[in-house]
Amino acid sequence: MESWSKEYENLLPRGTFIQGLAKLRDTLPNQIHAKFDEHVRCMVRDLSTEVGKMLHNLHEKKHSITQVQKVIRAFPSSLLCLNHKAWIPIQSCAQSVESVRFVPLLADEAMLYNVNGRNGRGGLKMKYSTIVHTPNVLQVLCQMKSMDKSSAVDRTYTEVLKILQSKKLLKSKDLNKYNLLHASCDIACKSRFEFLLKWNKKKLKENHCEEPFIHSTITSKTNGPGSFALTLSKTIKYFPRDLGLLFQMNDRKETTFDVAVQFYGKEKTFQIIKECIPASKKLPILHHVIRAVPEYLNDFAIRYPSSIYRRDENGRLFHHLALECGVSLLNNPMMILQMSDATVEECDPVTGLLPFMIAASSQENDLSTCYHLLRRSPSSIPPL
């Protein structure tokens, strides 16, 4: 561990250790200044290397924040000491739950000494390599997880993100610039995902890599069903009127549900949906289904039978919308035949039309359906 950044020379004079030696130098005769400087430079380099090694191997049970801060201020050049992977200490600390709590301190101290430039935020924006799509420290903090996907690890990293936010070292614009929400979209990073989501819930409705965010949680090679389930649970919470974006379309006119079925199969997809949208939730699910994926109407109706009696935010009954979407005696006779008398006689609050009128005005109107509904409600025809 003997590599150093080109900024090394600029950092040396600022450490408290070298400042103390500088005062001693002033008391010495001029003729020994050169020799003194030579020895000091070698000593500081060696000590800084040792401190750098320590910073790459910090452990919260072995080192304290105060201790680490003092040693950094004595040897600030240690912040730029590179390990065998060409990482600086803050990059190493972000990789381990035992050392991640030191990241805010290292970033703070690095800002004092302009490590990675002021705009680099003390190394937080530094990438781990020059390879395309290699993450930076902020991204690693959002996506790091243990092999057993421990929630304790997630909580620790969340605490670090909160500290960085309080120090203004983590900013809302980072969510977009570094795709932090997507980076944290994993069941093992649930706490971080929820924390970042509080900043901008609307991100869930936006695109990620040219497709809806919720679609990307399904199609991403790094994500699994848990990521989709996590996202759907949050979209249901924040956007219930949109049914959690379950039927949000991409440019190919595929809904979220369609994409999930393609990747996970129908049964697994419905299992996830049932977990995120239990039948106890009083949502007009079938209203959305008849519009977006009518071919799956029976599948949803079996799982959400009571939804057929719900009204949407406009007060519309499911049958009003079903007739508008072309449901008829020809393609779904049982749905028409099972309509209650009250439903047959109720006007649609949006169009002001009775059910038989909706059937007649549908693009796929069927006279037999209109006739049947009209016979069921003869009183709806005004007298001549």
Work out the pLDDT band at 19, boundaries 50, 70, 90.
low
Closest CA to 251 of 218, 285, 287, 215: 215
pLDDT at 51 exceeding the cut of 90: yes
Work out the pLDDT band at 363, boundaries 50, 70, 90.
confident
Contact 287, 243 (CB under 8 A): no
pLDDT value of residue 75: 85
Integer Cα distance of 162 and 154 in angstroms: 12
Quick: pLDDT tens for 138-181. 999 999 988 777 789 999 999 999 999 999 999 999 998 999 99
Quick: pLDDT tens for 245-292. 999 999 999 999 999 999 999 999 999 999 999 988 889 999 999 999
Quick: pLDDT tens for 211-250. 999 999 999 877 789 999 999 999 999 999 999 999 999 9
Burial (0-12, 13-18, 19+ Cβ within 10 Å), 212: buried
Q: Which tokens in the block code for residue 164? A: 């960085």
Quick: pLDDT tens for 197-207. 999 898 899 88
pTM, rounded to two decimals: 0.82
pLDDT at 18 exceeding the cut of 70: no
Integer Cα distance of 62 and 85 in angstroms: 23
Work out the pLDDT band at 4, boundaries 50, 70, 90.
very low
pLDDT at 29 exceeding the cut of 50: yes
Work out the pLDDT band at 8, boundaries 50, 70, 90.
very low
pLDDT value of residue 115: 67
CA–CA–CA angle 194, 261, 312 (5° rounding): 65
33-56 vs 16-26: helix axis angle to the nearest 10? Answer: 170
